[in-house]
Structure 1
Amino acid sequence: MVNFNIYIEEKENYVVLKTDGYINNLGGRAIADKVEEYTEKGFKHFVINFEKSEILNSIGACILIEVLDGLLELKGKLKFSNCIAIIAQTMEIMGITKFVEIYETQAMAEEAMQADIKKS
């Protein structure tokens, strides 16, 4: 069995999710569940840091698309950081990067998120 963990950093206006492990159906569902948990608390903006995840399969990517769709309905924002090349390529192939910006570091993603929140 593959271990998957999510570490949460709750900020003033957004939440950072740090993934650790393989993002397949179980990892993707864990991300979706955490996003749902925090949207129920009133959050609608999220940064996902993939630094400790080296694999994203198509099922995991499809679940991320579901997460994105839900956030777009809430007029929320989603940003990704620390993606290795293969994960970034998977996201591009799946069309996710048309709606989500990928940043080299979490700090850069958070800075962009804060700027977007101020604009809205």
Structure 2
Amino acid sequence: MEYHVSEQAKRRNGFFEDLIDGLTRHLIANNINEPEKAAEEIALKLHEEWRGQNLNFPAKPRLYFERLKEQVISEYTGYNKTELLRRHNISESTLYKWMNQKLKEAKKREIDQNGQVMFKL
């Protein structure tokens, strides 16, 4: 008996397969043992937890901004502001906000003579 599969169902299954493929590539890149099996297990766990739900992944989640912030701060030389703003599509005020946050964090930590981190309250 053959039954009709809707285009929407094909896309859903395609998404699931794409998810497994993407996870596999990431696991291989990070030297995880048996990446195909691990990717399938992750995808199946996601399926068990979220099946039947409509999922909407934000275009730029908080984790994206945290990683972007760290990358921009690490690339900042004091002379490449314009380049960073253009390359990462961020505003000047965002760059200064991130740099000020990093500076405040650094000021809260001080290293004593023994090399131990001391925190100011």
TM-score band w.r.t. shorter chain: under 0.3
Give TM-score scaled by structure 1 length.
Answer: 0.25
Structure showing greater radius of gyration is 2
**Going by fraction, where is strand more abundant, 1 or 2?**
1
- Please report the TM-score for the alignment, with normalisation by the length of structure 2: 0.24
